Chain A
Amino acid sequence: MSENTTWPGMQFGIFTVSDITQDPVSGHTPSEAERIRNTITIAKHAEEVGLDVFALGEHHNPPFWSSSPTTTLAAIAAQTERLLVSTATTLITTNDPVKIAEDFAMLQHVSNGRTDIMLGRGNTGPVYPWFGKDIRQGLPIALENYALLHKLWREDVVDWEGKFRTPLQGFTATPRPLDGVPPFVWHGSIRTPEVAEQAAYYGDGFFANNIFWPAEHYQRLIALYRQRYAHYGHGTPEQAIVGLGGQVFMRANSQDAVNEFRPYFDNAPVYGHGPSMEDFTQMTPLTVGSSQQVIDRYAGMRDLFGDYQRQLFLMDHAGLPLKIVLEQLDILGGEVVPVLRKELAKNRPADVPDAPTHENLVRKTYGDAEPRQATPRANRGDNLTSGSPYQDTPQPVGSAFGAAATRSA
């Protein structure tokens, strides 16, 4: 495991959509309780086999269970040591950005910094009206909500007014981000250039789901994101922070992998009963075969997208039983990822940034200085009238009554 984690350039992990799907081979459909329990087992096993990241989707309708990702991720963080917990994706459209700011700052604290977040707009139409939003406004809502989220994590006291949420006057999102450093943000998109633009504008990461569409789509989006990242002055195009999805099924003998995975593929949500598995593996990064085939395919990703920072695999959907998923993780962590780390580290230019972690964001923000530890003053309501309710911010003269008013600023 230690050998696995010595290269900070890239993170490898798994992501799940949290579907509860009948196993087409056994006919068994897990209960919500069983599937939730299994998912936590899968996340813990991801750490055991040397993976770095576990990312969880968000849904608000059956047959999915993950309506409250930070609750689940906190439980996983509590049962792991090293695993970074993230999302895939958190709905920036229908969640209140204030609640996202609070929930993920909390998750940062309880996970000791092993938290980041991936934002997306979601693909289930009725979620918008269920949460009182208009899907036709999806993109403007996403842009405005993120602008507010970004501000809430960076400014102690926020005055804000927008179109899609009630205004804020003198609002402080608590707790402040761990060490004063907001969680790293990935923006996920499968087709929208404005989202790539948004990621570039803020200097955030861009994640291409890479599962459902041919590589050329994501190549255009990532090329755009890299070009705009440089345009907004965050570095060279090659220094932009890119993550990719992927999907694999492996056995020692590649024909065994094909035979075993086929019923799951043929009946899978989304692409089941559509293209043949052979066509789909050719059109998308889905790779079904030996671990060597997976290594060859994914070592080639940087030829398509440039050097990148995060690779996530979808391993547990379409009704695959727990036992098979754990075996797949054993192969992924034991045979595939150690080789991919070596391959993708080769000839990587020194100025390509490492994968984002809380530690390297703290270092980037503070250098060798001590990071901020936000400590509130006694609350006299002065978060409404002065710069900050925290002790490390000087109070403006005349902002308080009594002893504080006579203190030199």
Chain B
Amino acid sequence: MSTRRIAVISAGLSNPSSTRMLADRLLAATARELAERDIEITADVFELRDYAHDITNNLLTGFAPSALETMINTVVSADALIVVTPIFSTSYSGLFKSFIDVLDPDALRGKPVLIGANAGTARHSLAIDYAIRPLFAYLHADAVSTGVFAASADWGGSGDQVATLSSRVDKGARELAEAIARRSPVVDADPFDPANYLGEGRSFGHLLGGLAGE
């Protein structure tokens, strides 16, 4: 049995939050799917509300206070992400986008992502595909094709009775599990290791190209 690590980002603002409820369901379903594939997971779950001040300070000063920095390092070094945001005014919440904005633009390149979103009514459900998915496409993350949207009604009997929330959660989780299982575990690359910024076995002359004759 091998092990992977999933980072979960929940951008809900209230506590308890239905955004977090959806995130927890997506995580539990993904863990189940991976267990069937003989993969065990550990998970780091973050509520962006806890980092809201640090995220704003990072936007203003250009550096992450240490709690946020630790959190960012945990997120970008995970094997996969589950991200869930409430839909505010037709799109991801401002806090969610601000968090994305303080990440290095290359930090999520190639990383499997399962997108979740929640709102008061199902009329917002396409926000995943017109707003959130393009954001992850821009970052060159590998968002799985199913995004899971939960309207308030989905938590009770008046939600979608054909494609139920739990069936959509399972579908998204299965796709994320498959994406994780296809990949080797992430190896954390130290940006301050010369082998990483120069390339293995290369020297400063290679950065200069022909100038240094290397």
Q: Which A residues form the contact surface with B (CB < 8 A)? A: 140, 143-144, 147, 162, 193-194, 197-198, 200-201, 212-214, 216-217, 220-221, 223-224, 228, 231-232, 270-271, 273-275, 279-280, 283
Contacts and interface: CB of A to CB of B under 8 A. Distances in A.
Given A193-B191, A197-B194, A274 B60 contact: yes
Contacts of B198: 197
Interface of B: 56-57, 60-63, 65-66, 69, 191-192, 194, 197-198, 204, 207-208, 211-212
Contact of B61 (A162, A197, A274): A274
A217 B63 contact: yes
A143 B61 contact: no
A228 B207 CA distance: 15
A270 B61 CA distance: 6
A221 B192 CA distance: 7
A194 B197 contact: yes
Nearest to B212: A147
B197 A213 contact: no
Given A194-B207, A198-B204, A212 B197 contact: no
Nearest to B59: A274
A323 B57 CA distance: 31
Given A194-B197, A217-B63, A274-B60, A144 B208 contact: yes
Contact of A271 (B56, B60, B66, B207): B60
A273 B57 CA distance: 9
Contacts of A232: 204
Secondary structure class of chain B's binding surface, majority of residues: helix
Nearest to B66: A214
A212 B62 CA distance: 8
Given A194-B197, A212-B63, A275-B57, A220 B192 contact: yes
Contact of B197 (A197, A201, A214, A280): A197
A194 B66 CA distance: 24
B50 to A, nearest CB: 16
Contact of A143 (B60, B66, B207): B207
B204 A214 contact: no
Given A193-B191, A197-B198, A214 B63 contact: yes
A271 B61 contact: yes
Contacts of A279: 57, 65
B212 to A, nearest CB: 8
A224 B56 contact: no
Nearest to A200: B204
Given A147-B211, A162-B211, A198-B204, A275 B197 contact: no
A31 to B, nearest CB: 28
Contacts of A224: 192, 194
Given A214-B63, A217-B63, A274-B61, A228 B192 contact: no
A270 to B, nearest CB: 7
Given A193-B191, A193-B192, A283 B65 contact: yes
Contacts of A223: 192
A224 B61 CA distance: 24
Given A147-B208, A198-B204, A274-B57, A283 B66 contact: yes
Contacts of B69: 214
Given A214-B69, A216-B66, 17 more contacts: A147-B212, A193-B197, A194-B197, A197-B197, A197-B198, A197-B204, A201-B204, A212-B61, A212-B63, A213-B62, A214-B65, A221-B192, A231-B194, A270-B62, A274-B57, A274-B61, A275-B60
A224 B204 CA distance: 14
A331 B60 CA distance: 31
Contacts of B56: 274
**6 closest A-B pairs (Cβ-Cβ)?**
A274-B60, A201-B204, A213-B63, A275-B57, A193-B197, A271-B61
Nearest to B205: A201
A405 B132 CA distance: 77
A332 B197 CA distance: 40
